[in-house]
Amino acid sequence: MKQLKYLFFPVLMMAFATLSSCENIKNSKYITIGMVDGWAEDVAMTHVAKAILDQQGYHVIIQKASTDMILASMNNEDTDLFMGVWLPYTHAKKLAKFPGLTHLGTNYDNGRIGLVVPEYVPVNSIEELNQHKDQFSHRIIGIEKGAGLTTGTDKAIIDYKLDYQQINSSTIAMITELQNAIQRKQWIVVTGWQPHWMFGKMKLKFLDDPKKIFGEAEQIKTYSRKSFGKDHPELAKFFSKIHFDDTNMADLLVQMEQSKNKEATAKKWVEEHSELVQSWLNKN
């Protein structure tokens, strides 16, 4: 029995040390932000937040993953934040699986998703697509499987009875195919969203969606793990204040798209918008 006592005590101490270490990490200057690589607005906002927090003495780790993986990781208390939640439509079902996550703030108010064509294409509504299916080669060029926009497009194909197939690969592949089609003045329909730098670089238009399959105006929000506000009340307040209007979001996205060094560009953007950034950091 005495030997068991001597064995139990160090094991217990190790357990307490491990728990204490985990608690210290959560209350430390290390912050983890989930990011979907390829989502222009999420990449831009995440790097801006990192640039600001780096200046405040935090060590920000960006974790690249899919939306589902990021939400699940936050639910497990492994990832602190995600700045790319689109509501009330795109990510509603995904978010509903994790009711314990905490809404911190709205980063952008005028988001939109749907089907997009070049301006020179004389089609204005999803309802018209079947009339021109041969010109579009019966294809809708999509992004990653599992994305809310991909699911919405599958539903649109069914509800509008479209004789089309959604072709999925990646956001980068979709944009490349769109750019190539525009150079040749070819007809193409893609899945798209705003804010995105491609609307500043190319003349595009959303197709009308009378059935509202893709919803209407979307907001982009920041969510955190359940105990983040308790562990970091000052940061919860900071993220609740981050907000981009149409002008500064467009400016940020264009700068980031042209950049080969996202961190350096984000740092430069933060310096150029010091008054806006200071309003986010204001503790009042």
Q: How far apart are CA 273 and CA 138, in angstroms?
A: 45
Q: Are strands 218-224 and 81-87 parallel, antiparallel or unpaired?
A: antiparallel
Average pLDDT, the chain: 90
The confidence band for 26, taking pLDDT boundaries of 50, 70 and 90, is low
Which residue intervals of the chain are DSSP H helices?
2-26, 40-55, 67-75, 92-96, 148-159, 171-183, 198-201, 228-231, 233-241, 246-258, 262-272, 274-281
Q: Please give the pLDDT value at position 19.
A: 43
Instruction: Say yes or no: 10 and 103 in one domain.
Output: yes
What mean pLDDT is predicted for residues 46-52?
A: 98
Identify whether 213 is part of a domain.
Answer: no
pTM for this prediction = 0.77
pLDDT of residue 283: 79
Residue pair 108/244 in contact by the 8 Å Cβ criterion: yes
Whether 241 and 103 share a structural domain: yes
Given a cut of 90, whether residue 205 has pLDDT beyond it is: yes
- Write the pLDDT tens digit of every residue in 232-260: 999 999 999 999 998 899 899 989 988 99
Of 206, 234, 267, the one marking the end of a domain is: 206
What range does the domain containing 8 cover? 2-111+219-281
